Amino acid sequence: MGTQIRTALKVDTNTPAEKQPYLHNRWHPDVPFVGTIRNNETVKIECLDWTGGQIQNNDSADDVLNVDLSKVHYLSGPFEIEGAEPGDVVCVEIQDVQPFEDQPWGFSGVFHKENGGGFLDEIYPHAAKAIWDFEGIYCTSRHIPGVKFAGLIHPGILGCAPSAEILAEWNRREAELISEKAAGGSTRTVANPPLTTNAHAGSADAATAAKIAAEGARTVPGRPEHGGNCDIKNLSRGSKVYLPVHVPGAKFSVGDLHFSQGDGEISFCGAIEMAGVITVKCTVMKNGQKQLGMVNGKSPIFIPGPVQPQFGPGRMLYFEGFSVDENGKQHFLDATVAYRQSCLRIIEYLRRYGYDDYQIYLLLSAAPIEGHIAGIVDIPNACTTIGLPMDIFEMDIRPETPAKKVDMRLAPVSKK
Amino acid sequence: MGTQIRTALKVDTNTPAEKQPYLHNRWHPDVPFVGTIRNNETVKIECLDWTGGQIQNNDSADDVLNVDLSKVHYLSGPFEIEGAEPGDVVCVEIQDVQPFEDQPWGFSGVFHKENGGGFLDEIYPHAAKAIWDFEGIYCTSRHIPGVKFAGLIHPGILGCAPSAEILAEWNRREAELISEKAAGGSTRTVANPPLTTNAHAGSADAATAAKIAAEGARTVPGRPEHGGNCDIKNLSRGSKVYLPVHVPGAKFSVGDLHFSQGDGEISFCGAIEMAGVITVKCTVMKNGQKQLGMVNGKSPIFIPGPVQPQFGPGRMLYFEGFSVDENGKQHFLDATVAYRQSCLRIIEYLRRYGYDDYQIYLLLSAAPIEGHIAGIVDIPNACTTIGLPMDIFEMDIRPETPAKKVDMRLAPVSKK
Amino acid sequence: MGTQIRTALKVDTNTPAEKQPYLHNRWHPDVPFVGTIRNNETVKIECLDWTGGQIQNNDSADDVLNVDLSKVHYLSGPFEIEGAEPGDVVCVEIQDVQPFEDQPWGFSGVFHKENGGGFLDEIYPHAAKAIWDFEGIYCTSRHIPGVKFAGLIHPGILGCAPSAEILAEWNRREAELISEKAAGGSTRTVANPPLTTNAHAGSADAATAAKIAAEGARTVPGRPEHGGNCDIKNLSRGSKVYLPVHVPGAKFSVGDLHFSQGDGEISFCGAIEMAGVITVKCTVMKNGQKQLGMVNGKSPIFIPGPVQPQFGPGRMLYFEGFSVDENGKQHFLDATVAYRQSCLRIIEYLRRYGYDDYQIYLLLSAAPIEGHIAGIVDIPNACTTIGLPMDIFEMDIRPETPAKKVDMRLAPVSKK
Amino acid sequence: MGTQIRTALKVDTNTPAEKQPYLHNRWHPDVPFVGTIRNNETVKIECLDWTGGQIQNNDSADDVLNVDLSKVHYLSGPFEIEGAEPGDVVCVEIQDVQPFEDQPWGFSGVFHKENGGGFLDEIYPHAAKAIWDFEGIYCTSRHIPGVKFAGLIHPGILGCAPSAEILAEWNRREAELISEKAAGGSTRTVANPPLTTNAHAGSADAATAAKIAAEGARTVPGRPEHGGNCDIKNLSRGSKVYLPVHVPGAKFSVGDLHFSQGDGEISFCGAIEMAGVITVKCTVMKNGQKQLGMVNGKSPIFIPGPVQPQFGPGRMLYFEGFSVDENGKQHFLDATVAYRQSCLRIIEYLRRYGYDDYQIYLLLSAAPIEGHIAGIVDIPNACTTIGLPMDIFEMDIRPETPAKKVDMRLAPVSKK
């Protein structure tokens, strides 16, 4: 009665992630269970930050510039969810997410165009970084003065393991994309196929580990069949998410905690990344996929928690974007292009206060901006909007108030 | 003192739109002024519905099927905004939008794939229609039983006229898109170039009208330089929108009133279209484009009004979508594809209650669904979410509550 | 199909209220019906402002000073609600409330201490007035510069007629209070007993009218058995209110429309009073009092509408009040005393900007302030709070921002 | 850089509170400092629950029945706030409040009428208890089935020490009330005068401790000059509260943490009481009382945090109350009487689901109900409303949905 909540998994922030057998960084049905969560049980699960500790709390962007992207996304799990079978749904209630008490900080990074990149890398190719300090529900950054906001804290990644069939389909379709783009002459990395380098298969034996390394799906994209790295900012504390189950026991994993994130997570390493602990309650809905109309086992649905930071609509400043790119080229109903334009409009707006463009890029990634698809049918222009909460700024940024320019360029940006 | 607000423009719903000289349906700097709005003045402006009255309050989709899309978007205006000059910004405060008191209804339509189409026309090619009845702030439809919601009432189109240079750029880039797509073998209509058929140049003399018909930009897409047909659902009553001015006197026009709309307005004629009256206050910000950081005169920004319908976050049901299309094909960071998947997930979910797919398609277009760009950097999958407010339904649609299927297929769908 | 909503009652703002037989200003079971509203029907009902037109749109407080309080609260009705019987509940959905289009203004008044008084009349005995101009959803006042807000528009009075028994009980208990207070030496008016002067019994014949004048309950207080003059600010458009029925046909009346009001309506004539039209849908719940647990037929319950103006919690400035009065006297858990202190604290705070105390008193009555009972058990101090939405002010009134005093004393205050 | 937040005070839940010298339970200027908080510093402060551990996590109400009310409200502090002097204001930002990780539960109690009492003790004289279990942001109670809600977590008490003059005034006015009520024949305890029994003066030497015991103000009521035991539910995490300073160094104390509370905290021990830790940032505003218009140094003001649980207005069910008491007696504009009626109406409503009245009484105390002063000027009836968030219930409690009665009487109630 009133006993403490069980901690189902502890991580060690002083040991390399690859040495911790209850972590893994590939999606594969054969990664061994790390433990069992009973139906309806609430547990705490500790998680590393998504880079496994590669980024330091300092004033240089070199660690972001040189980050090893084969050593990321060490997930905690997979857990057996008692009684879960293919065709079921696991309802995961995210009771809370907290940073470690002795590590009250996180980071946002802009990756270099040649090592990770991001949504605006054609325009902003350099690496950059901001460290955020946590004080209770709030965060501030010495690298981006003049802003403070409450965290919309959430896991970037959670999901159940794919079945062998689903995994094969993932590999097929992503390989197809790679082939097509290569055939079309693109030199851009368009997807990450299986990679043996630094694959972490948890506690799998050597043969299984080799199989997982050879076949396992990379953790970067979210995928419709299980959610995964969905990076949804309001899948936050208090949420209930309904995850389709594809293998016996579900093999539920979680990681990549974010103190806050803007819609789009535009700088890729853009959320406020942190290590910490997530509290979840797992409940099995037998035959849930049919009950919820999840045709072909997809996709997760969720109901957000009731405690997300509230700004009145009259305190949001919205920026329109259309699918005409920054070179004047017209695209056809391309919401991605339109969203980039909304981002650029905010950069132009906030630059007037003395911020460096990279600071704003970092801020848009980390702060709870609201990115909407406004119109998607008026050919040829998709229209998107981004709502910027004016209350995260110390200064009054309303359009009526003349902007006062002060040099605030404090975020480290790589020379390269 | 306390006098009535001036009605700056009246329309006649019994006369064909093309006969009303204070309307126009092309964006062109030479459309003559219909009147002047003083700086800081509040006026009422009447508007036709966007089809100019082609759609009837009946139970057949034939009018939608056969709609003449060259006779739409008759805008009220253009108005001279006293003192506005290129480089300025006009701040338009939308004090209210109301349907005509003697016409308390509107419509949502799905266009036929071969006459207008829409976001899901590959899957749902037929025409369909729903009539909505207004009772104060609320609307219901005899064609979509079981739903009721408060309007998030707004104009689909508002903006200032382009300069000759901007108009030329619009025509250049849209023509280029058409050429490229044609060269690539596409048979899809990808943009609407200038069209003399049914061009309405307001009160222009014959020579000017011919010029406008030959060069004037069509009203379908919104465009970054002036907003135009942006179809932004929360640019609603109480909002302030900051419109860049490109010609002397601004030449401000408005029209295409919506009683409500979901993010994306996915069925194209998807908002609840209506005729009515908009009350606006227009204020000139001298040199506003520079002050607001509108580089190259783009794009409009806005602050929503404080009275949009509120649903607690715990009453929103979110559906994830990823950029893998319904045929299993992987697309690269394509938010448009992802958004279509979010829509399809909702159709699958709501179908369980007995709705026809077309009804849900209509509903998603009309109800205040929240469409977000969640993650746009995790290659190759863009992730979008759509939040569906559960409180618009009479029945309890929470995932935990088993769905009870009842035949509710009442919306007219074309046979063709 | 799609026909206009029926207007069930029209008023004439150019004719004295007492001459209009479809109005009445007493609660009595014998006031004759003015018409019938069918079960589930939506109708429009026009209403006079609560003073029946005594207050003018000018810059003098003389009309407020000299108001005839025996000629107020002319209610529209009573209506027969088809099928309603004692023991039932009528669910009234307030679909909308609007001022008359040709009368886009309202007023707030502070009554003189000797003619009406108000919550702070011991401190502010004079009469005062503010005229408010409506522009769509917003209002401003030339008498209180620097503020603007969206209306939280609602009827001050609505309810069903009392039965003869309930009416007798009202008269008994209010007479008892008068006797007790008089016995205790109080000279203050503590209740308004039946009064024949200016009693308006609708279309009653002479004998019935005389009975109604002699027995009819005054309209000033709300009462638990039917609601009546409850003056609840968020019983606003979109609300559903469940009214107990005490006589056959319900005899539903409505009036006293408010464009906006703060919790408490502290200056008595404090809401923004206006004439206009209310749209309601009436639905009978048979045996509803038992079903809703309304023991002894009391009291109304309601669910607010979804479109009330939203301010984020971080934009509300709260003022604490305790039940120690302005003379330092300690009261015992008296929330009324505490609330007065919260009001005084706001007056002290806002005075620093150059407002006259009467202006703030008027503003607190009219603007959507949030008045809470915070603690009611920590003897001997009740604690109340009032939340003041900072976004209704043009200037930045956050505590951190130094107040700049400017003379803004523009509201007319009586010399007497 | 990024170091942990300093814990300025630790409590020991295994040692009697009276043995812990950094606690105190009287307001007096001579209680010695327990430490210093630097200007702008953020610290963590641990706090006992308000009974100092008297209530057990079990299924009996005996501990509540027999609680020793002279041993409560052990506050953590007082702290010196660096640089604070009389006339200043300390802005305390409540960065977070959390229960102890190893004690994830709290309690709500109804005191017996003869030992503490509560708002409804005339009707509900027995003692009762509910234990609440915390799971992240949520709580549930095995004693009140069918409800679950997110905490609106806050300190019940915080404030700076009174000066000697203010303390004397407190004692004067509260003694006067006691005398008056006694003279009037009341036998009810109306205030708690200084009491030497179990006075805890912190680390004061014997002489000072005796003085403090003899003169020190009891902690039960909040008071206008410093706030103190204000029990304001939305003075929650993220809030900024502006506390007047009356002695050098401020002598800031805090305690009585609540996981959640309803407006009024009606059962006295009604919030969900817990031990835990509060994180605060303290900033001195020099001469702040004058700057904020705090005439005679009163009262605190605050701005709530942005993360309070959100319910849409359409999900709140409001109950009206008027100042006619449960015996039919008419009171004069007495908001306290009206509020009691609103409470009783909810009890009658919820009783239909099978709850015992004491359970509902406990629930109204603990859950985030919204208590408003609606109308306070319509003589003789004050009108209050209480909004009950329907989303805290598992079952659908909308008026339209017939109530299904199930026996849920699980809360322990004393026999006495």
Beta carbons within 10 angstroms of residue C6's beta carbon: 12
Q: What is the pLDDT of residue A2?
A: 52
Q: What is the pLDDT of residue C149?
A: 98
The residue of chain D nearest to residue B313, with distances taken between CA atoms, is D310
Does residue D261 have a pLDDT over 70? yes
Question: Which of B80, B98, B101 minimizes the C-alpha distance to B8?
Answer: B80
In angstroms, the first-to-last Cα distance of chain D is 58
Mutate to test the interface with C, among A148, A149, A315, A317 (most CBs of C within 10 A): A315
Mutate to test the interface with D, among B307, B311, B317 (most CBs of D within 10 A): B311
Does residue D285 have a pLDDT over 50? yes
Q: How many CB pairs under 8 A join B and C?
A: 92
Does residue D241 have a pLDDT over 70? yes
- Cβ atoms of C21 and C236 within 8 Å: the answer is no
Which chain C residues are within 8 Å of A314, Cβ to Cβ?
310-311, 391
Residue B268 DSSP code: E
Contact criterion met (CB < 8 Å) for A314 and C313: no
Q: Which member of A305, A339, A370 has the closest CB to residue B335?
A: A339
Question: Which of B54, B86, B81 minimizes the C-alpha distance to B70?
Answer: B54
CA dist., res. A291 & res. B404, Å (int): 11
- Cβ atoms of B232 and B225 within 8 Å: the answer is no
Per DSSP bridges, beta strands C41-47 and C89-99 are unpaired
Which chain C residues are within 8 Å of D304, Cβ to Cβ?
313-314, 316, 318, 387
- Cβ atoms of B307 and C309 within 8 Å: the answer is yes
Residues present in chain A in total: 416
CA dist., res. C135 & res. C122, Å (int): 35
Chain mean position to CA C42: 23
Q: Which residues pair with C6 in a beta bridge?
A: C43
Give the model confidence (pLDDT) of B309-343 as tens digits: 999 999 999 999 999 999 999 999 999 999 999 99
CA dist., res. B332 & res. B338, Å (int): 10
Q: Report in angstroms the alpha-carbon separations of C35 from A370, C9, C22, C160.
A: 50, 8, 9, 14
Strand ranges, E, within C173-332: 222-223, 227-228, 240-244, 252-258, 268-273, 276-285, 301-303, 316-322
The residue of chain B nearest to residue C239, with distances taken between CA atoms, is B137
Q: Which member of C310, C314, C396 has the closest CB to residue A391?
A: C314
- Cβ atoms of C47 and C22 within 8 Å: the answer is no
Q: Which member of C150, C305, C391 has the closest CB to residue B137?
A: C305
Whether the bond into D412 is cis, omega within 30 of 0: no
Token look-up 């976001």 returns B119
Contact criterion met (CB < 8 Å) for D301 and C319: yes
Domains of chain B: 6-303 (2.60.120.580), 313-392 (3.10.28.20)
Q: What is the pLDDT of residue C1?
A: 45
Distance of residue C98 Cα from the nearest chain B Cα, in angstroms: 10
| Local confidence pLDDT in tens for the 416 residues of chain A | 457 899 999 999 999 999 999 999 999 999 999 999 999 999 999 999 999 999 999 999 999 999 999 999 999 999 999 999 999 999 999 999 999 999 999 999 999 999 999 999 999 999 999 999 999 999 999 999 999 999 999 999 999 999 999 999 999 999 999 999 999 998 889 999 999 999 999 999 999 999 999 999 999 999 999 999 999 999 999 999 999 999 999 999 999 999 999 999 999 888 999 999 999 999 999 999 999 999 999 999 999 999 999 999 999 999 999 999 999 999 999 999 999 999 999 999 999 999 999 999 999 999 999 999 999 999 999 999 999 999 999 999 999 999 999 999 999 999 88
Burial A299-319 (b: 16+ CB within 10 A, else e): bbbbbbbbbbbbbbbbbbbbb
Mean pLDDT, contiguous 10-residue spans, chain C (416 residues): 84 95 98 98 97 96 96 96 98 98 96 95 97 97 98 97 98 96 91 96 98 97 96 96 98 98 92 97 97 94 96 96 96 97 97 97 97 95 97 95 93 92
Q: What is the pLDDT of residue D1?
A: 45
Neighbouring subunits of A (3+ Cβ pairs under 8 A): B, C, D
In angstroms, the first-to-last Cα distance of chain A is 58
- Determine the residue type at B232: I
Q: What is the pLDDT of residue A1?
A: 45
Supply the DSSP string of A375-412, one letter for each residue: ES-STT--EEEEEEEGGGBSS---TTSPP-------S-
Token look-up 């850089």 returns D1
Beta carbons within 10 angstroms of residue A13's beta carbon: 14
Residue D364 DSSP code: H
The residue of chain B nearest to residue A399, with distances taken between CA atoms, is B292
Q: Report in angstroms the alpha-carbon separations of B254 from A390, B26, B279, D314, D332.
A: 28, 12, 11, 32, 55
Contact criterion met (CB < 8 Å) for B150 and C96: no
CA dist., res. C249 & res. B221, Å (int): 55
Supply the DSSP string of C367-399, one letter for each residue: S--EEEEEES-STT--EEEEEEEGGGBSS---T
Which chain C residues are within 8 Å of B150, Cβ to Cβ?
238, 305-307
The residue of chain C nearest to residue A311, with distances taken between CA atoms, is C312
- Cβ atoms of A416 and A125 within 8 Å: the answer is no
Distance of residue D409 Cα from the nearest chain C Cα, in angstroms: 18
Q: Report in angstroms the alpha-carbon separations of B76 from B224, B255, C139.
A: 21, 6, 26
Q: Report in angstroms the alpha-carbon separations of A170 from A85, A256, B114, B375.
A: 21, 21, 34, 19
Phi first, then psi, for residue B313 (nearest 5°) are -60, -30
Give the model confidence (pLDDT) of B157-192 as tens digits: 999 999 999 999 999 999 999 999 999 998 889 999
Which chain D residues are within 8 Å of B316, Cβ to Cβ?
none
CA dist., res. D212 & res. D194, Å (int): 9
Q: Which two tokens stand for residue D107?
A: 């309690």
Q: What is the pLDDT of residue D2?
A: 52
Q: What is the pLDDT of residue D335?
A: 96
Strand ranges, E, within B56-135: 75-81, 89-99, 105-110, 128-135
Per DSSP bridges, beta strands A23-24 and A75-81 are antiparallel
Of chain B, the percentage scoring pLDDT greater than 70 comes to 100
CA dist., res. B156 & res. B135, Å (int): 21
Give the model confidence (pLDDT) of A310-339 as tens digits: 999 999 999 999 999 999 999 999 999 999
Whether the full predicted model's pTM is greater than 0.90, yes or no, is: yes
Contact criterion met (CB < 8 Å) for B266 and A220: no
Neighbouring subunits of D (3+ Cβ pairs under 8 A): A, B, C
Q: Which member of A313, A391, A396 has the closest CB to residue C310?
A: A313
Residues present in chain B in total: 416
Chain mean position to CA A372: 18
Q: Which member of C102, C138, C238 has the closest CB to residue B95?
A: C138
Q: Which residues of chain D have a Cβ shorter than 8 Å from any chain B Cβ?
A: 310-315, 391, 396
Which chain C residues are within 8 Å of A312, Cβ to Cβ?
310-312, 315, 391
Q: Which member of C313, C314, C396 has the closest CB to residue A396?
A: C396
Contact criterion met (CB < 8 Å) for B309 and C310: no
Considering chain D, what is the average pLDDT of its residues?
A: 96
Contact criterion met (CB < 8 Å) for B4 and C150: no
- Cβ atoms of A378 and B231 within 8 Å: the answer is yes
Q: Return the C-alpha torsion angle B201, B203, B206, B210, nearest 10.
A: -10
Contact criterion met (CB < 8 Å) for C313 and A310: yes
CA dist., res. C44 & res. C280, Å (int): 6
